[in-house]
Amino acid sequence: MSDDKHLPIDVLRHSAAHLLAHAVLDLYPGTKTGIGPAVETGFYYDFLRDEPFTPADLEAIEKRMKEIAREDVPIERRVLGKDEAMRLFEEQGQPLKVELIREKGDATVTVYGQGPFADFCLGPHVASTGLLAHVKLLSVSGAYWKGDERGAQMQRIYGAVFPTAKELEDHLRMLEEAKKRDHRRLGTDLDLFSSNDELGGGLILWHPKGARVRAVIEQHWRERHWAGGYDILYTPHIGRATLWQTSGHLGFYKDSMYSPMDIDEQPYYLKPMNCPFHIEIYKSRMRSYRDLPLRWAELGTVYRYERSGTLHGLLRVRGFTQDDAHIICTPDQIEAEILRVLDFSVSILADFGFTDNKIELSVRDPKNPGKYCGADDLWCRAEASLVKALETRGYPYERKEGEAVFYGPKIDIKIKDAIGRLWQCTTIQFDFNMSERFDMTYVGEDGKEHRPYMVHRALLGSLERFFGVLIEHYNGSFPLWLAPVQALVLPIAERHEAYAKSLEGRLREAGLRAEVDLSREKVGKKIRTAELQKVPLILVVGDKEVERGTAALRVHGQGDKGEVDVARFLGQAQELVKNKSNTVNF
Q: How many residues bind Zn ion (CB under 5 A)?
A: 3
Of 455, 567, 451, which is closest to residue 509 (Cα–Cα)? 567
* Least distance between Zn ion and beta carbon 439 (Å): 17
Q: Of the listed pieces 23-31, 117-125, 246-254, 555-563, which binds Zn ion according to CB under 5 A?
A: 117-125
Longest Cα separation, the chain: 92
Active site residue 373: no
Radius of gyration of the chain (CA): 29
* Least distance between Zn ion and beta carbon 239 (Å): 14
125/181 with CB nearer Zn ion: 125
Across-strand partners of 359? 397, 413
For residue 572, the one-letter residue type is Q
Residue 511 backbone zone (phi > 0: left; psi -120 to 50: alpha; other: beta): left
With residues binned 3-state (H G I as helix, E B as strand, rest as coil), the percentages for the chain, rounded to 5, are 40, 25, 30
Distances in Å between the Cα of 544 and the Cα atoms of 488, 491, 499, 569 are: 18, 12, 12, 17
Q: Of the listed pieces 73-81, 118-126, 171-179, 542-550, which binds Zn ion according to CB under 5 A?
A: 118-126
**What is the signed CA dihedral for 326, 332, 338, 340, rounded to 10 degrees?**
-100
Q: Which of 22, 156, 181, 275 is catalytic?
A: 275
Q: Which of 94, 114, 155, 322 is catalytic?
A: 322
Active site residue 64: no
- 456 binding Zn ion? (CB under 5 A): yes
- 121 binding Zn ion? (CB under 5 A): yes
Peptide bond into 366 cis (omega under 30): no
Q: Which of 97, 410, 534, 556 is catalytic?
A: 410
* Least distance between Zn ion and beta carbon 462 (Å): 13
Q: Which of 324, 417, 431, 517 is catalytic?
A: 324
End-to-end CA distance of the chain: 58
* Least distance between Zn ion and beta carbon 415 (Å): 21
**What is the signed CA dihedral for 370, 372, 376, 382, rounded to 10 degrees?**
-150
Of 305, 315, 353, 334, which is closest to residue 461 (Cα–Cα)? 315
Q: How many CB atoms lie within 10 A of CB 148?
A: 8
* Least distance between Zn ion and beta carbon 112 (Å): 5
466/569 with CB nearer Zn ion: 466
Q: Which of 225, 304, 437, 526 is catalytic?
A: 304
429/533 with CB nearer Zn ion: 429
Could you tell me whether strands 238-240 and 266-270 are parallel, antiparallel, or unpaired per DSSP bridges? antiparallel
The site map against Zn ion for 527-566 (x = CB under 5 A) is: ----------------------------------------
Q: How many CB atoms lie within 10 A of CB 305?
A: 15
* Least distance between Zn ion and beta carbon 325 (Å): 8
Q: Of the listed pieces 56-64, 129-137, 177-185, 451-459, which binds Zn ion according to CB under 5 A?
A: 451-459
* Distance between CA atoms of residues 413 and 511, nearest Å: 33
Q: Of the listed pieces 37-45, 62-70, 453-461, 561-569, which binds Zn ion according to CB under 5 A?
A: 453-461
- 275 binding Zn ion? (CB under 5 A): yes
12/527 with CB nearer Zn ion: 12
275/460 with CB nearer Zn ion: 275
* Least distance between Zn ion and beta carbon 488 (Å): 42
Across-strand partners of 454? 328
Phi, psi dihedral angles at 329 (to 5 degrees): -150, 175
Active site residue 249: no
* Distance between CA atoms of residues 200 and 192, nearest Å: 18
295/456 with CB nearer Zn ion: 456
Active site residue 324: yes
Q: Of the listed pieces 121-129, 203-211, 234-242, 509-517, which binds Zn ion according to CB under 5 A?
A: 121-129
Contact 135, 19 (CB under 8 A): yes
Active site residue 425: no
Contact 125, 14 (CB under 8 A): yes
121/512 with CB nearer Zn ion: 121
Contact 145, 34 (CB under 8 A): yes
* Least distance between Zn ion and beta carbon 580 (Å): 28
183/456 with CB nearer Zn ion: 456
b/e 323-334 (16+ beta carbons within 10 angstroms → b): bbbbbbbbbebb
Q: Of the listed pieces 116-124, 219-227, 525-533, 568-576, which binds Zn ion according to CB under 5 A?
A: 116-124
Could you tell me whether strands 397-401 and 357-363 are parallel, antiparallel, or unpaired per DSSP bridges? parallel
* Distance between CA atoms of residues 383 and 529, nearest Å: 53
Q: Of the listed pieces 211-219, 359-367, 454-462, 464-472, which binds Zn ion according to CB under 5 A?
A: 454-462
Contact 376, 370 (CB under 8 A): no
The site map against Zn ion for 408-447 (x = CB under 5 A) is: ----------------------------------------
- 161 binding Zn ion? (CB under 5 A): no
* Least distance between Zn ion and beta carbon 433 (Å): 11
Active site residue 171: no
12/487 with CB nearer Zn ion: 12
Q: Which residues form the interface with Zn ion (CB under 5 A)?
A: 121, 275, 456
Which positions are annotated as active-site residues?
275, 304, 322, 324, 326, 410, 456
